[in-house]
């Protein structure tokens, strides 16, 4: 979880300081001496219809009148624009304090009360308005009804000209008046029809007119007002401060007061209040009434506040805050900020990600302290409430407020299984240094014991490293010690150099099955243990590698290990256009554990591979011609060979190919749609002579399955131990349909290979020669039926066996990340259809269907069905429901599956899985049944789920 709470920034203090600059400028620009002794002047304050105070010099009154709750006045857009246009910039460098003066209203005529920035009908619920303290009798100061300029209710077309004229009358001329129009630019509210005001619009929260948004599952949204000004890109020290106040009163050397509304802006930092008072003796500034502070991404609303200009400390009371980007909001009785110490403290506070008016979950604290430099927060007497019910209490709780790391407990996992009982994992994170950290996770498993997992991450200038370990002294079920070690490294130690290492080793082959691995390690039937170093030149590269394995399945043979492997490859520059020259060389020492092996399977030794190739490519819009030649050489030096087999061998075999094709195009109309259709005939010839390789071991080689792609390959085997003899030509025809923008709408391709000689090179020595003169017919189809629905088909038809030897259909529907349907059908035969030993009863036929589909804007269905049709056996069924709103999400899954690796009487398994997430705070997993709490890993089997998760973060 990451949360950022930056409530008050230094510009707020600067802005309040600007208020003082403003009042001193008011003295400098006073037009005439006071007509009467200011000591005889007083103030007459009355509350206006919008709940604010209107104070005018008159006979002194002892106190303001009693207040009644007021309803905010409705203000038109024209009124608001008038305010925006009439703000005057301040520059304190040229201002000089004047002697005791009082501005004559006749020379700088006051207008109607200034309009507040946020005066929509959806303003904050009105509280009983607070009047400013009654100003004391001025002794030696100034009293100005319009210290800068008082915004009018004039028509928008009149405001700028009137503003300039009046400011010049008041003495604000020249460069000052030139910037009037950019003082406080308009903050644009949501466009009409795009949002519905709510009782919480004062927090910029609006209702979605279309109801719940299916993408974020919220009924409304935060809309930070768009804001532009000419000075936003300037450095802060060069940004002018703009102030607007209705009236002011100043006593030189003592108190200065501004009556509102009062607006202050520097750059994108904005503050507004009803009233401001400055005590020049100690640098204290007091703000009162409808306090609103904005900075990009943040809004703070309060009732009153105090700022000390000497210490840069500030305090605001009865605040609400919103952080737009993280969708967080909160409430605090008080917020104290010290910019010098980069520390903010909230008392009696809570925060939540839920929308305003919904406190489904809240995190409370009697005191919450934010350390902004370190990037973390602390909550004291912290209580997590769900549905206003306290479910967790911690006397102290630490949480991040930025991307900076902080040591502390992470959120626990809880699961229940029939085999292991109750399991609780409580990870603890250690922020050891900026470039390395660690996570230690004790996992208490009821029926097994305590398993401790640790992960250490280390970064430096040239590498990234992860080290993993796990240890259980005694597994009470397995009656043995369990352990795991892992490493993952990627590095660039020097220019052009690359290093890679990844390895996992466990104490026994059942570790992963018994103790599901949550660390950053490879998991499969074999655990890789690989180390590699490589150098990249300008047109060549070379590398060395060691590759070992640990086999987790004792029913299969141990694979060959590379101890070590060296290789080099590159290209040769030449002056002939379209001609390419290349080479590659590798030598590998293969080793293998000899347990339960016999015959040639026990062979080990050194294999060297050398290749040189040349190619020529001629490509034109109407077609292409590509020719290539390759010289393949193999050298073997072998050990542990059976009797009668040679310990060494070598051979050199050439390969030649010629690939040609035409591209013909026409316009094609279908159902009122126009397409560009191509017709692409293609011929691909390849020749490789026969060389007997049947008495050589198979270190890394297997035979490729015939399909549409195999039509256009010049090899029949993976790896380097078999070079297939080939004298054949493949003929194919492809047609593509393109839309006007160049996107492919459909593709249909079909082809067949014609053999000019038998294929004698096979994997095993006793495999029969392939004698058919033609291959099966292979086809492929790709259809983008519309923007939401796509279809992919592959088929291989064997005329010899009169059967579809391999066929598959994938149908996918996706309108967005929340509407996904996947359907996959595949049937294939285990035997080569060209073989005389083809078994028509040995095939696999499976279907896999998965769905993510909203039932409503906040409920979604998650399901998967995987069935072996041939065996009449369901491999997996999973049915789940997900509920998600603005602030939390819950998933409940029921899963049944078939575990083919388990004992016969334990292959059928089932479980119930729950995942509960408090958005912006934490997620909890629980599992009941035959497995633990891997809810997310189960859902990742649904195509499209991971993309959906990444978009919903």
The per-residue pLDDT for range 644-702, each reduced to its tens digit, is 899 999 999 999 999 999 999 999 887 778 889 999 999 999 999 999 999 999 999 99
Q: What's the CA gap between 144 and 421, in Å, rounded?
A: 78
931 falls in which pLDDT band (50, 70, 90)? low
Q: What's the CA gap between 414 and 945, in Å, rounded?
A: 23
Domain assignment present for 552 = no
What is the pLDDT, as a whole number, of residue 23? Answer: 38
Q: Residue 359: which residues within 8 A CB-CB, separation 6 or more?
A: 352, 385, 388
First to last CA, the chain: 11
Within 10 angstroms of residue 352's Cβ, the number of other Cβ atoms is: 26
Residue with tokens 């998991």: 523
Query: Per the structure block, which two tokens stand in for 14?
Result: 């600067």
| Residue scoring higher pLDDT (159 or 842) | 842
Q: What's the CA gap between 944 and 738, in Å, rounded?
A: 26
User: Of the spans 349-353, 464-468, 553-557, which averages the highest pLDDT?
Assistant: 464-468
Query: Which residue, among 930, 927, 945, has the nearest Cα to 860 in the 3D structure?
Result: 945
Give 280-304 pLDDT, tens digit per residue.
Answer: 677 677 889 989 888 778 888 999 9
Query: Which residue, among 455, 526, 517, has the nearest Cα to 932 in the 3D structure?
Result: 517
| Strand ranges (E), 280-327 | 284-295, 298-308, 313-323
Domain count of the chain?
Answer: 4
Give 849-886 pLDDT, tens digit per residue.
Answer: 999 999 988 899 999 999 999 888 888 999 999 999 88
Query: Which residue, among 880, 873, 876, has the nearest Cα to 897 in the 3D structure?
Result: 876
Residue with tokens 């009162």: 288
Within 10 angstroms of residue 890's Cβ, the number of other Cβ atoms is: 14
What is the pLDDT, as a whole number, of residue 929? Answer: 61
Give 186: exposed, middle or buried? Use CB within 10 Å, 0-12, 13-18, 19+.
middle
> Looking at residue 209, what DSSP letter applies?
T
| Residue scoring higher pLDDT (723 or 392) | 723
- Is residue 535 scored above 90 in pLDDT? yes
Query: Which residue, among 952, 951, 953, 920, has the nearest Cα to 329 in the 3D structure?
Result: 920
| Residue scoring higher pLDDT (899 or 8) | 899
Query: Which residue, among 299, 294, 300, has the nearest Cα to 263 in the 3D structure?
Result: 294
Residue with tokens 């579809």: 804
Residue with tokens 């919220």: 218
Domain assignment present for 603 = yes
What is the pLDDT, as a whole number, of residue 118? Answer: 35
CA 112 to chain centre: 50
Half-sphere exposure of 133 (CA within 13 A, CB side): 12
Q: For the ranges 26-30, 604-608, 893-897, which has the lowest average pLDDT?
A: 26-30
Domain assignment present for 616 = yes
What is the pLDDT, as a whole number, of residue 936? Answer: 72
What is the pLDDT, as a whole number, of residue 412? Answer: 76
Q: What's the CA gap between 765 and 601, in Å, rounded?
A: 12
What's the Cα-to-Cα distance from 599 to each of 606, 643, 765, rounded to whole Å?
18, 9, 12
Domain assignment present for 31 = no
- Please answer whether residues 932 and 913 qualify as being in contact, where contact means their C-beta atoms are separated by less than 8 angstroms: no
Q: What's the CA gap between 332 and 349, in Å, rounded?
A: 4
What is the pLDDT, as a whole number, of residue 338? Answer: 80
Same domain for 862 and 918, yes or no, is: yes
Q: What's the CA gap between 247 and 261, in Å, rounded?
A: 9
Query: Which residue, among 427, 652, 420, has the nearest Cα to 519 in the 3D structure?
Result: 427
What is the pLDDT, as a whole number, of residue 889? Answer: 87
Within 10 angstroms of residue 921's Cβ, the number of other Cβ atoms is: 20
Same domain for 825 and 756, yes or no, is: no
Give 508-528 pLDDT, tens digit per residue.
Answer: 988 888 887 665 555 567 899
Domain assignment present for 212 = yes
Query: Which residue, among 434, 431, 534, 438, has the nearest Cα to 492 in the 3D structure?
Result: 534
- Please answer whether residues 393 and 379 qualify as being in contact, where contact means their C-beta atoms are separated by less than 8 angstroms: no
Give 393-406 pLDDT, tens digit per residue.
Answer: 889 877 766 667 77
Same domain for 847 and 792, yes or no, is: no
- Is residue 589 scored above 80 in pLDDT? yes
- Please answer whether residues 441 and 452 qualify as being in contact, where contact means their C-beta atoms are separated by less than 8 angstroms: yes
Same domain for 773 and 874, yes or no, is: no
Q: What's the CA gap between 546 and 530, in Å, rounded?
A: 6
Same domain for 713 and 823, yes or no, is: no
Average pLDDT over residues 751-758: 96
Residue with tokens 């049937």: 827
Average pLDDT over residues 104-115: 31
Same domain for 790 and 641, yes or no, is: yes
Give 628-646 pLDDT, tens digit per residue.
Answer: 999 999 999 999 999 989 9
Which secondary-structure segment (H or E) carries 513? helix 511-514
Same domain for 784 and 822, yes or no, is: no
What is the pLDDT, as a whole number, of residue 41? Answer: 35
Burial 473-491 (b: 16+ CB within 10 A, else e): eebeeeeeebebbbbbbeb
Query: Per the structure block, which two tokens stand in for 851?
Result: 């769905």
Q: For the ranges 94-103, 465-474, 775-784, which has the lowest average pLDDT?
A: 94-103
Domain assignment present for 20 = no
Q: Are strands 413-417 and 922-929 parallel, antiparallel or unpaired?
A: parallel
User: Of the spans 38-47, 320-329, 351-360, 646-655, which averages the highest pLDDT?
Assistant: 646-655
Is the four-CA dihedral 23, 28, 34, 37 of positive or negative sign?
positive
Give 865: exposed, middle or buried? Use CB within 10 Å, 0-12, 13-18, 19+.
middle
Q: Give the domain range for residue 438.
A: 421-511
Here the contacts of 432-436 (C-beta below 8 Å, separation 24 or greater) are: 435/459, 435/460
Same domain for 757 and 899, yes or no, is: no
What is the pLDDT, as a whole number, of residue 524? Answer: 65
- Please answer whether residues 251 and 140 qualify as being in contact, where contact means their C-beta atoms are separated by less than 8 angstroms: yes
Q: What's the CA gap between 46 and 58, in Å, rounded?
A: 12
Within 10 angstroms of residue 594's Cβ, the number of other Cβ atoms is: 12
Same domain for 793 and 848, yes or no, is: no
- Is residue 777 scored above 90 in pLDDT? yes
Q: Residue 67: which residues within 8 A CB-CB, separation 6 or more?
A: 47, 128, 129, 130, 131
587 three-class SS = strand
What is the pLDDT, as a whole number, of residue 11? Answer: 38
Same domain for 649 and 748, yes or no, is: yes
What is the pLDDT, as a whole number, of residue 923? Answer: 65
Domain assignment present for 928 = yes
Which secondary-structure segment (H or E) carries 814? strand 803-816
- Please answer whether residues 336 and 317 qualify as being in contact, where contact means their C-beta atoms are separated by less than 8 angstroms: no
What is the pLDDT, as a whole number, of residue 89? Answer: 38
Q: Which residues pair with 502 in a beta bridge?
A: 488, 530
Give 435-446 pLDDT, tens digit per residue.
Answer: 999 999 999 999
Domain assignment present for 860 = yes
Residue with tokens 């370990």: 469
What is the pLDDT, as a whole number, of residue 628? Answer: 97
What is the pLDDT, as a whole number, of residue 22? Answer: 39
Half-sphere exposure of 326 (CA within 13 A, CB side): 24
Backbone angles phi, psi at 690, to 5 degrees: -80, 140
Q: What's the CA gap between 450 and 473, in Å, rounded?
A: 8
Mean pLDDT of the chain: 78
What is the pLDDT, as a whole number, of residue 151? Answer: 31
Q: For the ranges 514-528, 567-581, 618-632, which has the lowest average pLDDT?
A: 514-528
- Please answer whether residues 637 and 605 qualify as being in contact, where contact means their C-beta atoms are separated by less than 8 angstroms: yes
Respond yes or no on whether the N-terminal peptide bond of residue 103 is cis (omega within 30° of 0): no
Average pLDDT over residues 7-31: 37
- Is residue 138 scored above 90 in pLDDT? no
Same domain for 653 and 707, yes or no, is: yes
Entry pTM: 0.69
Give 157: exposed, middle or buried? Use CB within 10 Å, 0-12, 13-18, 19+.
exposed
What is the pLDDT, as a whole number, of residue 413? Answer: 76
What is the pLDDT, as a whole number, of residue 817? Answer: 86
Give 219-258 pLDDT, tens digit per residue.
Answer: 999 998 887 777 778 886 677 767 778 888 877 667 778 8
What is the pLDDT, as a whole number, of residue 842? Answer: 87
- Please answer whether residues 86 and 152 qualify as being in contact, where contact means their C-beta atoms are separated by less than 8 angstroms: yes
Helices 77-85/156-169 angle, 10° precision: 30
Q: Which residues pair with 613 in a beta bridge?
A: 582, 630
- Please answer whether residues 15 and 267 qualify as being in contact, where contact means their C-beta atoms are separated by less than 8 angstroms: no
Give 53: exposed, middle or buried? Use CB within 10 Å, 0-12, 13-18, 19+.
buried
Q: Which residues pair with 527 in a beta bridge?
A: 550
Q: Are strands 843-854 and 141-144 parallel, antiparallel or unpaired?
A: unpaired
Is the four-CA dihedral 236, 238, 239, 240 of positive or negative sign?
positive
Q: Residue 859: which residues within 8 A CB-CB, separation 6 or more?
A: 881, 882, 883
Q: What's the CA gap between 875 and 893, in Å, rounded?
A: 16
- Secondary-structure breakdown of the chain: helix, strand, coil percentages, each rounded to the nearest 5: 10, 50, 40
Residues in the chain: 953
Same domain for 938 and 790, yes or no, is: no
- Please answer whether residues 632 and 653 qualify as being in contact, where contact means their C-beta atoms are separated by less than 8 angstroms: yes
789 falls in which pLDDT band (50, 70, 90)? very high
């Amino acid at each position: 979880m990451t949360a950022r709470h930056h409530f008050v920034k230094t510009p707020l203090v600067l802005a309040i300081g600007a208020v003082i600059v403003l009042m001193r400028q008011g003295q400098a620009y006073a037009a005439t001496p006071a007509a009467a002794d200011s000591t005889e002047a007083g103030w007459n304050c009355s509350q206006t219809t919008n709940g604010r105070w209107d104070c005018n010099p008159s006979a002194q009154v002892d106190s303001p009148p009693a207040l009644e709750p007021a309803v905010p006045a409705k203000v038109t857009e024209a009124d608001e624009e008038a305010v925006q246009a009439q703000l005057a910039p301040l520059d304190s460098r040229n201002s000089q304090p004047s002697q005791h003066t009082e501005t004559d209203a006749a020379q700088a005529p006051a207008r109607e009360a200034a309009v507040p920035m946020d005066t929509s009908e959806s303003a904050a619920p009105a509280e009983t308005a607070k009047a400013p303290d009654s100003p004391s009798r001025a002794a030696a100061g100034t009293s100005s009804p319009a210290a800068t300029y008082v915004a009018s209710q004039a028509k928008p077309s009149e405001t700028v000209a009137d503003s300039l004229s009046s400011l010049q009358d008041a003495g604000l001329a020249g460069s000052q008046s030139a910037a009037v129009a950019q003082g406080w630019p308009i903050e644009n509210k949501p466009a009409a029809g795009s949002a519905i005001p709510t009782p919480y619009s004062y927090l910029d929260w609006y209702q979605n007119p279309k109801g719940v948004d299916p993408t974020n599952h919220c009924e409304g949204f935060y809309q930070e007002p768009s804001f532009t000004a000419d000075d936003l890109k300037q450095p802060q020290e060069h940004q002018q401060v703009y102030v607007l106040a209705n009236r002011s009163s100043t006593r030189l050397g003592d108190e200065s007061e501004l009556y509102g509304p009062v607006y202050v802006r520097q750059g994108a930092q904005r503050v507004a209040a009803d009233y401001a008072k400055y005590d020049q003796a100690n640098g204290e500034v007091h703000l009162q009434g409808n306090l609103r502070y904005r900075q990009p991404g943040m809004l703070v609303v309060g009732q009153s506040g105090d700022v000390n200009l000497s210490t840069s400390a500030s305090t605001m009371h009865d605040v609400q805050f919103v952080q737009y980007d993280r969708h967080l909001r909160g409430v605090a009785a008080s917020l104290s900020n010290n910019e010098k110490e980069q520390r903010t403290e909230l008392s009696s506070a809570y925060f939540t990600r839920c929308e305003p008016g919904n406190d489904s979950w809240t995190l409370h604290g009697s005191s919450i302290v934010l350390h902004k430099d370190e990037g973390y927060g602390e909550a004291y007497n912290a209580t997590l409430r769900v549905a206003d019910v306290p479910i967790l209490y911690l006397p102290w709780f630490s949480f991040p407020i930025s991307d900076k790391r902080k040591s502390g407990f992470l959120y626990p996992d809880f699961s229940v299984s029939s085999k292991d009982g109750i399991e609780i994992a409580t990870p603890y994170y250690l922020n050891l240094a900026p470039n390395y950290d660690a996570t230690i996770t004790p996992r208490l498993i009821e029926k097994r014991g305590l398993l401790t997992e640790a992960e250490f991450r280390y970064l430096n200038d040239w590498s990234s490293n992860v080290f993993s370990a796990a240890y259980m002294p005694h597994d009470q079920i397995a009656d043995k010690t369990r352990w795991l070690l892992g490493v993952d490294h990627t590095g660039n130690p020097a220019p052009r150099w690359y290093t890679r290492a990844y390895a996992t080793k466990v104490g026994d082959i059942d570790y992963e099955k018994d103790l599901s691995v949550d660390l950053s390690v490879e998991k499969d039937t074999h655990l890789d243990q690989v180390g590699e170093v490589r150098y990249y030149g300008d047109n060549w590269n070379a590398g060395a590698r060691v590759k070992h394995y640990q086999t987790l399945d004792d029913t299969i043979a141990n694979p060959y290990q590379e101890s070590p492997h060296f290789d080099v490859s590159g290209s040769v520059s030449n002056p002939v256009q379209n001609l390419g020259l290349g080479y590659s060389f590798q030598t590998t020492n293969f080793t293998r554990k000899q347990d339960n092996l016999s015959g040639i399977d026990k062979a080990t030794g050194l294999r060297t591979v050398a290749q040189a190739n040349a190619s020529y490519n001629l490509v034109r819009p109407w077609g292409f011609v590509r020719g290539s030649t390759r010289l393949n050489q193999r050298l073997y030096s072998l050990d542990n060979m059976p009797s009668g087999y040679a310990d060494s061998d070598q051979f050199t075999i050439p390969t030649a190919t010629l690939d040609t094709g035409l591209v013909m195009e026409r316009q094609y109309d279908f159902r009122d749609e126009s397409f560009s259709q191509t017709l692409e005939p293609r011929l691909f010839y390849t020749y490789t002579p026969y060389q007997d390789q049947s008495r050589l071991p198979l270190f890394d080689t297997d035979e490729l399955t015939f399909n549409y792609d195999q039509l256009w390959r010049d090899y029949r085997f993976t790896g380097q131990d078999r070079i297939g003899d080939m004298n054949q030509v493949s003929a194919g025809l492809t047609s593509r349909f393109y839309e006007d923008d160049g996107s492919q709408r459909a593709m249909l391709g079909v082809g067949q290979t014609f053999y000019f000689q038998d294929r004698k090179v096979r994997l095993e020595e006793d495999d029969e020669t392939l004698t058919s003169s033609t291959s099966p017919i292979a086809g492929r189809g790709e259809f983008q039926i519309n923007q939401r629905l796509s279809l992919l088909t592959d088929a291989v038809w064997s005329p010899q066996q009169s059967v579809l030897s391999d066929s598959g259909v994938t149908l996918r529907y996706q309108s967005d990340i929340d509407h996904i349907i996947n359907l996959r059908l595949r049937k294939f035969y285990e035997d080569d259809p060209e073989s005389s030993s083809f078994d028509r009863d040995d095939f696999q036929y499976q279907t896999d269907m998965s769905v993510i589909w909203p039932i409503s804007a906040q409920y979604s269905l998650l399901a998967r069905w995987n069935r072996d049709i041939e065996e009449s056996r369901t491999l997996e069924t999973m049915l789940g429901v997900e509920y998600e709103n603005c602030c939390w999400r819950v998933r409940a899954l029921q899963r049944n599956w078939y575990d083919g690796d388990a004992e016969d009487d334990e292959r059928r398994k089932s479980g119930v899985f729950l995942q509960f997430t408090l958005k912006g705070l934490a997620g909890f997993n629980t599992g009941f049944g035959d497995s633990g709490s891997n809810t997310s890993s189960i859902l990742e089997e649904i195509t499209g789920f991971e993309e959906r998760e990444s978009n919903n973060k």
